[in-house]
Amino acid sequence: MHPSSQVTFPPPPPPPPQPSLGLSSEPPYRHHVHRRGLLQRLRPPARAAGVDDTKAGVKGLVDSGVTSIPAIFHHRPDTLPQDDDVSSIVDDAAVPVIDLAAPREEVVRLVRAAAETGGFFQVVNHGVPSSAMAAMLAAVRGFNEEPVETKRPYYTRDTSKTKARFYSNLDLFQSEAACWRDTVFLDMAPEPPTPEELPEKMRGATFEFTGAVMKLAASVFELLSESLGLAGDHLAKMGCGESLKVACNYYPPCPEPHLTLGNTRHTDPTFLTVLLQDGVGGLQLVSNGRLKSVEHRVLASTGTARISVAAFVDVGEGRSVRRFGPIPELVTSPDGGNPPMYRSVTIEEFIGHFYKKGSERRPRLDYFKLE
């Protein structure tokens, strides 16, 4: 990891790594200057519709044999990795690996150190069976590599119709440029889908994997609570672990990876993200800036398709009314040396701000900062 705390993912090295789980808590939002007016003129929505109408995703383009990528996928040069961009390479040695079976005090100490600095760590002995991780990755691959006729019925962005949605680029009609990625997005908790709502190839693996991830998230919230000097059930009682939404990402091989990205630089607007295989959520505000999260992006690659499963753990009901601000136990009076850094905010407002920027997806926690 580069000191800028930006983590990106190079193409998976052969042989394929063992599935692994990474976790992140909330971010150090940064400001960047964008020439949006110019770029919006470059990408009329009609071109997005052209890509969307096929309901075949990026994989459909690859299957049709494209050797150059459509202009809608061209990203601004300054957002693309540069040859000398050392921050675009994950330094495996710099990602803390935490053994959850180690003595409790040690685990809490390591979690605190990781969450307060990079905001990202990998866990071992996490209780999610390897067979469940492998099956989940295979299921995501299985669905994405089905014939388009099998996938098309699931193609929608309409959250009111189904809890299992297949699409390419959620923000296709809002973003400056599209990413080289297809996604199956699952709303798994608090109210799970019926097995029949899921694509057939994904039915078997998804419930076992996500059930285990919910248990792991509960353990991590306990560790994070303790690492903040709070009672173990503090974050859980705040409702941080009630909801689970899962992005199953499929990054097809790309003929011109130097022109596009698998996922733009962003932070996740959730409390915690558990990422399967390559790892990298929203605790910075409630921890008054103590817990950090990591900016990340995904590079496109000519190699083989890459798969990731990002499990977003967050608040369930009451997203428009429940307010979250710095935890009172973590702040002092304004003159006590550690005053509240942020105003309280509803999840709806927080996420609304996050998506305002389309593909830039920069929540800009500074927007909620108290002067």
Ligand X SMILES: O=C(O)CCC(=O)C(=O)O
Could you give the string, one character per residue 277-296, with x where binding to ligand X holds by CB under 6 A and - elsewhere? -x-----------------x
Looking at the Cβ atoms of 48 and 90, the one nearer to ligand X is 90
Could you give the string, one character per residue 52-71, with x where binding to ligand X holds by CB under 6 A and - elsewhere? --------------------
Buried b (16+ CB within 10 A) or exposed e, 292-326: bbbbbbbbbbeeebbbbbbbbbbbbeebeeeebbb
Q: Counting contacts by CB under 6 A, is residue 72 touching ligand X?
A: no
Please, what is the minimum distance in Å from the beta carbon of residue 60 to ligand X? 20
Please, what is the minimum distance in Å from the beta carbon of residue 311 to ligand X? 10
Rounded Cα gap, residues 19 and 224, in angstroms: 24
Rounded Cα gap, residues 82 and 80, in angstroms: 6
Looking at the Cβ atoms of 250 and 324, the one nearer to ligand X is 250
Residue 8 contacts residue 87 (beta carbons within 8 Å):
yes
Q: Counting contacts by CB under 6 A, is residue 357 touching ligand X?
A: no
Please, what is the minimum distance in Å from the beta carbon of residue 273 to ligand X? 7
Q: Counting contacts by CB under 6 A, is residue 247 touching ligand X?
A: yes
Please, what is the minimum distance in Å from the beta carbon of residue 149 to ligand X? 26
Q: Which is it for strands 120-124 and 97-99: parallel, antiparallel or unpaired? A: parallel
Looking at the Cβ atoms of 205 and 327, the one nearer to ligand X is 205
Of 254, 310, 311, 365, the one binding ligand X (CB under 6 A) is 310
Please, what is the minimum distance in Å from the beta carbon of residue 177 to ligand X? 16
Which residues have C-beta within 8 Å of that of residue 161, sequence separation ≥ 6? Answer: none
Of 122, 225, 260, 263, the one binding ligand X (CB under 6 A) is 263
SS3 state at 147 = coil
Rounded Cα gap, residues 357 and 363, in angstroms: 8
Rounded Cα gap, residues 181 and 250, in angstroms: 6
Greatest Cα-to-Cα distance within the chain, rounded to the nearest angstrom: 64
Please, what is the minimum distance in Å from the beta carbon of residue 307 to ligand X? 8
Of 1, 5, 6, 9, the one binding ligand X (CB under 6 A) is 9
Rounded Cα gap, residues 172 and 175, in angstroms: 6
Residues 125-154 interacting with ligand X (rule: CB under 6 A): none
Specify the length of the chain in residues: 371
Q: Which residues bind ligand X (CB under 6 A)?
A: 9, 247, 249, 263, 268, 275, 278, 296, 298, 308, 310
